[in-house]
Amino acid sequence: MLISASSRIRTTKMPVDTAFKPVRAHCASIRVGSTTMPVYAEMSRHDNVLTKFRPRGFDCLCGNVRMAARALTSFYDEHLRPSGLRSTQLAVLWAVVAVGDGTVGKIAKTIAMDDSSLTRTLKLLERDKLVSVRAGSDRREKQVQATARGRRAFSVAMPLWQKAQADTLKRLKGRRLVDVNSVLLNLSRAQRA
């Protein structure tokens, strides 16, 4: 890499500003009488990239997983409505119940969630008296435990979750839920490693 007198970094790759230099591109033909005339438009290389990727890319794994997550979240939320819990809250409460008396960090690691997002959801569960959050042995960590009310809410939500799970399985049309979950868990674990 060389630095020129103007302090501009040169690389073997095309500098960013050249992506906006116009190029002539044939975009149409106009027929006037017996004469066909080409029509050119000024396009930047940036426009070429936008044109190439403008159609929604259903081959994008991240986009597809996020789209599926939004659809499933809405579907599960509808099923869980009688319990008063949303699927995001149930996922956290479930982890709290499973871990027992655990730290925020341990619960976050269990469900592949960052501490700040987990803390926001825990505050909602604490407000509703479903979990208790207290200082741990180290003042920097917090211990989380399901309350009696939280365990009851979990017990009410689980049959509703099972119904949502069964309905989801029907929508998978023959695919095994175990296989789908295995792929998703492997992706989650790969990102945490």
**Which tokens is 15 given?**
């500098």
Is the pLDDT at 8 greater than 50? The verdict is: no
- E-strand ranges in the chain read 2-3, 9-10, 22-32, 35-44, 102-103, 131-135, 142-146
Fold of 61-171+187-191: Arc Repressor Mutant, subunit A (1.10.10)
Mean pLDDT of all residues in the chain?
Answer: 79
pLDDT tier at 7, thresholds 50, 70, 90: very low
Residue 134 neighbours by CB under 8 Å, 6+ apart: 142, 143, 145
**Section 47-66 average pLDDT:** 72
Give the three-state DSSP class for 18: helix
163 or 2: whose pLDDT is higher?
163
Is the pLDDT at 18 greater than 60? The verdict is: no
Contact 191, 112 (CB under 8 A): yes
Is the pLDDT at 78 greater than 80? The verdict is: yes
Lowest mean pLDDT among 23-37, 124-138, 155-169, 179-193: 23-37
Q: What is the pLDDT of residue 27?
A: 57
